[in-house]
Amino acid sequence: MANLRELCLMDFDEFNENRVEKGLAVFMVNRVLEDGHLKHTTPMKEILLAPQKLSCPFALSPATSGLGAATALALSKHGFYVVLAGRSRHLLLKTMSEIKMQNEKALLKAFQVDLLSIQSILDFKNSLQLWLQDSKMHPSVQLLINNAGILATSSRFTLEGYDQMMATNYIGPFFLTQMLLPLLKNSPFPSRIVNVSSFTHRCVFDVQVDEDTVCGNCFRVLDQYPCSSIYEYSKLCLLLFSYELHRKLSLENGSHKLTVIVADPGVVKTNIMREVPTYLARVAFTILRLLRLLQLPKDGVNSILDAALASPETSGVYFFGGKGRMVKSSARSYNTKLAEELWETSSNLFLKSQIAIGGETSS
C-alpha cells in the first residue's frame, strides 16, 4: 500500500486544490468546523431551523462502489464535507471524479484504508487527525458510516488470523468505530454512527459469539465455506454491536449526544455479488427485478440517508428500505446478554490486535 500520509497530504489535497476531474471514493463525510465556524455551504441558520440535519465532521466507511459511493454523492449534495475511504487509490480517484461530475461543489477528501488490517485502520485514524489539525478544522467527526461489506465465496484469512468476511463486515468496523470514538465524542454537534446491516441477519438461528466463531476459526474445519451463513452472521454481529453501543452511550450521556443507528437498504444492484459466478448473479438479479425488489444504488441509499439525517435524539433503531421506515430487527439482535458477550469478545480481539502492532490501547 502506498504511504498513507503522502496520499492524504499530497495526492488528494492536490486533487482538491486543482479540481482535477478524476475520481475518488468515499469514506468519511465531514461537515467541518474551522476555528469554531462552519466552513462551508450550509448556513448555521439552516442547521438551527432543521435540527434533524447533522452539522459537522462526518465519516463514511468504504465508498468506492455501490451504496457507499451513492451515499457520498447524496451527502455531498447536502453540503457535507465528504471524506472518502477505500482500499484502492484508483477507485478512490474514480469515485471522487464521478461525484465531482454530478456535484462540482462537492467537498471531498480521501484516505486509503483496508479494514482487513488493524495497522491500516490505525494509520487511517492518525492521518485523519493530522489532516484535521493541518487544515485547522475542529478535531472531531460528526458521522461515521460503516458501509463496507463483502460476500466472500471462499475461505481466506487476514494476517491477524481473522476470516476475511468477518473482518470486513464486522471486526474491521468494530475496530474502526473504537478508534474513531474519541473524535465522534468530541463533536460539538450531535454525532452519529450508522452501521449498514442486512435483512439476511434474520436467517441466523444458532448464535455463538466466542472468539473462535467471531474470528471465523471454527469455519476452517468445514469442507465447504458456508458463505451465506457467515455473511448473515456478520450482519447480526453488526446489529448486536450497534444496540450494545447504543445502550452504553445512553448510560454515558443521557442526552444521546452520540447516537447509533442501523440501516438496511433492502436489495440493491451493486458489486456485492462480485465473487458469485456471473451467471448466478445475473439470474439472482433478474428474479429480484421481476419481483420488483431490486433497487439501484441511488434508491437503495435512502435508508442510509434516513439514518444519517434522522433527528439527533434517534438512536438504537433499524431503518429499512427508505421512506423513513423503521422496523424491528430480529428478536435475537435485541438479546442483551448475547450483545454483552459479543462486546467482550470483540473488545478482547481489539486489545490483542492493538498490542500486536504496538498501538494505543486507551479505548
Ligand X SMILES: NC(=O)c1ccc[n+]([C@@H]2O[C@H](COP(=O)([O-])OP(=O)(O)OC[C@H]3O[C@@H](n4cnc5c(N)ncnc54)[C@H](OP(=O)(O)O)[C@@H]3O)[C@@H](O)[C@H]2O)c1
For ligand X, the closer of residues 99 and 272 by Cβ is 272
Amino acid identity, position 125: K
Reference 29, options 194, 258, 253; nearest CA is 194
Separation between Cα atoms, residue 335 and residue 195, nearest integer Å: 18
Mark the segment that binds ligand X (CB under 6 A) among 43-51, 113-121, 186-194, 311-319: 113-121
> Taking the complex as a whole, how short is the minimal distance between the CB of residue 71 and ligand X, in angstroms?
9
> Taking the complex as a whole, how short is the minimal distance between the CB of residue 300 and ligand X, in angstroms?
7
> Taking the complex as a whole, how short is the minimal distance between the CB of residue 113 and ligand X, in angstroms?
6
Reference 96, options 271, 54, 104; nearest CA is 104
Number of chain residues interacting with ligand X (CB under 6 A): 29
For ligand X, the closer of residues 175 and 189 by Cβ is 175
- Other Cβ atoms less than 10 A from the Cβ of 130: the count is 14
DSSP SS3 for 87: coil
DSSP structural state of residue 170? I
> Taking the complex as a whole, how short is the minimal distance between the CB of residue 200 and ligand X, in angstroms?
7
Helices (H) and strands (E) in the chain, counts: 14, 12
* 363 lines the binding site for ligand X (CB under 6 A): no
CA angle 348, 308, 363 (to 5 degrees): 25
> Taking the complex as a whole, how short is the minimal distance between the CB of residue 87 and ligand X, in angstroms?
4
Among 23, 149, 312, 322, the residue binding ligand X under the rule CB under 6 A is 149
The footprint of ligand X on residues 91-110 (CB under 6 A) is 91
Contacts of 45 (CB under 8 A, 6+ apart): none
For ligand X, the closer of residues 234 and 346 by Cβ is 234
DSSP-assigned letters across all residues of 222-254? SSS--HHHHHHHHHHHHHHHHHHHHHHHHHH-T
> Taking the complex as a whole, how short is the minimal distance between the CB of residue 169 and ligand X, in angstroms?
6
The footprint of ligand X on residues 235-264 (CB under 6 A) is 264
Separation between Cα atoms, residue 234 and residue 33, nearest integer Å: 35
Site string for ligand X, 43-82 (x = CB under 6 A): -------------------xxxxxxx--------------
- Other Cβ atoms less than 10 A from the Cβ of 256: the count is 18
The footprint of ligand X on residues 281-340 (CB under 6 A) is none
> Taking the complex as a whole, how short is the minimal distance between the CB of residue 45 and ligand X, in angstroms?
34
* 168 lines the binding site for ligand X (CB under 6 A): yes
Based on the number of CB atoms within 10 Å of its own CB, is 355 exposed (0-12), middle (13-18) or buried (19 or more)?
A: exposed
Reference 276, options 148, 169, 155, 151; nearest CA is 151
For ligand X, the closer of residues 56 and 301 by Cβ is 301
For ligand X, the closer of residues 18 and 278 by Cβ is 278
C-alpha cell at 150: 463483502
* 267 lines the binding site for ligand X (CB under 6 A): yes
**Alpha carbon of residue 249 to chain centroid:** 18
C-alpha cell at 344: 467482550
* 88 lines the binding site for ligand X (CB under 6 A): yes
Cell numbers 439476511 correspond to 200
For ligand X, the closer of residues 230 and 338 by Cβ is 230
For ligand X, the closer of residues 87 and 100 by Cβ is 87
Contact positions vs ligand X (CB under 6 A): 62-68, 86-88, 91, 113-116, 147-150, 168, 196, 198, 264-265, 267-268, 270-272
